[in-house]
Amino acid sequence: MKVYETTGFPHPARVRIALAEKNALDKVEFVEVDVMNGEHRQPEFRAKNPNASVPVLELDCGTNISECTAITEYIDHAFPGISLTGKTAKTRAIIQMMQRRGEQNLLDAVGTYFHHATPGLGEALETDQNKEWGEKQKEKAIAGMYYFDQVLGEQEFVAGKDFTMADITVFAGLSFADFAKIDIPAECKNLIAWREKIAQRPSVQS
């Protein structure tokens, strides 16, 4: 199988962490997509993902899977090891809920700020910018940090007592926030401590 990615981008990083948690990095071939030069918008790549975004998982049978949640679901069930998406109905539901909150209230909010309220990836790629909307999403991202700080003051990981894909999403969101120059508020001590702990996981360091 192949993973089409762009090195350094937050969403491909989520997939790499998931693969590393399952000790499966060596089970896939990574294919670099030159987003900066618009390769993701070419017909050949759009045939794999009409949304023209990375990452994309291409199975040996030719099936293409996009969207990090869907890719992580596949990875979690295709390889043995730690469960990233939950084993019971309750845990699966909670993980999906918290993972979505991580996307909406942090990772996607940071992305919208970056692409709309900053130069982003440059004039050739950043079209139809709305700076006011981007600034509002920055506020949303910071509010998300406060929310996850509260959550992590009550439990060890984002979705409960175990490390899951929800943690991967929030960690990626904070990394993107660094790149976009959105600081974690100093009073979010639980979130800061959690991030330092997650950063030490072999899957993240790899």
The percent of the chain in helix, strand and coil, each rounded to the nearest 5, is 55, 10, 35
CATH number of the domain to which 46 belongs = 3.40.30.10
Q: In 3-state terms, what secondary structure has residue 27? A: helix
Residue 35: both structure tokens together: 């987003």
Stated length of the chain: 206
What is the domain range of residue 59? 2-78
In a domain, 154, yes or no: yes
Gap between the terminal Cα atoms of the chain: 20
The count of domains in the chain is 2
- By DSSP bridging, strand 2-5 and strand 56-58 are antiparallel
If asked whether residues 55 and 107 sit together in one domain, one would say no
If asked whether residues 32 and 98 sit together in one domain, one would say no
Q: Model pTM greater than 0.85?
A: yes
**Whether the Cβ atoms of residue 56 and residue 66 lie closer than 8 Å to each other:** yes
If asked whether residues 112 and 69 sit together in one domain, one would say no
In a domain, 157, yes or no: yes
If asked whether residues 156 and 187 sit together in one domain, one would say yes
In a domain, 170, yes or no: yes
β-bridge mates for residue 65, sequence order:
57
Residue 119: enclosing H or E segment and its boundaries? none
For each of the chain's 206 residues, which pLDDT tens digit applies?
Answer: 999 999 999 999 999 999 999 999 999 999 999 999 999 999 999 999 999 999 999 999 999 999 999 999 999 999 999 999 999 999 999 999 999 999 999 999 999 999 999 999 998 888 889 999 999 999 999 999 999 999 999 999 999 999 999 999 999 999 999 999 999 999 999 999 999 999 999 999 98
